A and B are shown apart, each in its own frame.
Chain A
Amino acid sequence: MKITRNILPSIAILLAGVAPLAIAQTPPTPAQQRRAAMAAKQAEARAATPYKSAEIMSLGTPKLVEILKDANATEFAKAKACQRLAVVGDKTAVPALAALLGDAKLSHYARFGLEPISDPSADAALRDALGDLEGNLLIGVINSIGRRKDPKALDALAKLMHGDDHDVAEAARAALGRIRGP
């Protein structure tokens, strides 16, 4: 019995020492690996970009447009530029923002910048994009047109409402409701 009493605590101490070791050596799950890879990629992109987030958020429209046109600017920098343009942007930013509406990763940010610009050229840019896009990117543009309540888009939206893509048709129906509604 005495031996048992002495051995059991020893085993417990041994296990207590091994358990953290075992946990520490557990390989990361696929999800953890993906998150780590994504974080590393984002950090690398931010370190590589010549434009820093805080700097971008203090720039005026001309500099922000330069970033959007800069082939070396990262997607992150362009996205931040669009966010900043949503606050300070004017009609001079519309062409550069419109050029991103077909970009799968930046289309949302382009609309982010375009929606608050009160100049009619922003409406025209969104209307022009209706014929060039499909799927979710088209739905996004339709949603932005609805939010801006652009009456010149009524005919184009009516056509889309009767198109083959059910989701696009639903978006067009909702946009028409917003434009014609109160």
Chain B
Amino acid sequence: MMEFLRANQPVFDFFLLTLGFAYSQQVVLRAGVFSLASAAFSCLGAYGCAYLVVKAGLPVAAGVGLGTLIGGLASYLVSLPLARLRGVYQAIATLALVELMVALALYAEPITGGAVGFNNIPKHVGTTELLIAVLVVIYLLHAQSISRIGRGFDALRQDEYVAASLGVSSRREHTLAFISSGLIGGLFGALQSMYAYNVEPNQYGFGYMVTTLAAIVLGGRRSLLGPILGSAIMILLPEVARPLAEYRQIVVGVILMIVVVLTPQGLADTFLAWLQHRRARALAPMATQPPGGRA
């Protein structure tokens, strides 16, 4: 295992970064918010951290911390108008924000380096730092999910009327979801800038959104295991399929389609639902029959 990891360390690092982005995307979806703005928050975190460390001479830890906070602050500001929207309208509005951020990164050349990118960043972050960040985020998301906030998220996602009838404030919870997404997105954007020597605007555009969304759809929208499985598939599958050369894209695409069709809930969520079903059957074999056992 360790041998394999060492040989494929860049792939593993890329998996960890993708996983972080996927969690930033998942936390809003879990609360019933259809925001695609994670890419924009990561973009801000990445450029913010790179600028603060390279140009302003801040320590790396401070740069990463502030990059995270920039993502969080931006997400709070974005939530003020956009948390009121729902469904596809929210998706389109946040998509526009991502495009806007890419355009800004292209035009603000003195700060961002424009289309050439922000280059010559010393490498300060490696596998260890990425792994620690992922574990901390998983712990915090787990704590959130089993708390009052997570219960509010779950209720809002499944039925907003029911949530309101129980006193769950959609404005408050959706704002919290946005901020969580912004902090996580900003953190991994900042880490990426300290990891990859350079930052380019197109890293935080359409490709980012497709990869993170695909990771969640493949893995699962609810459990924390979902993005782990989904990101692993999204990163590893193209690597494993490398010998197929020019057929690679087709084979990868077909496999993804088959997985989505067979497990629309995502691999991890389908598996966990199956476990829960087994536990429920053991407790109450007649559960899904009407009272009195009539068919």
Determine if chain A interacts with chain B: no
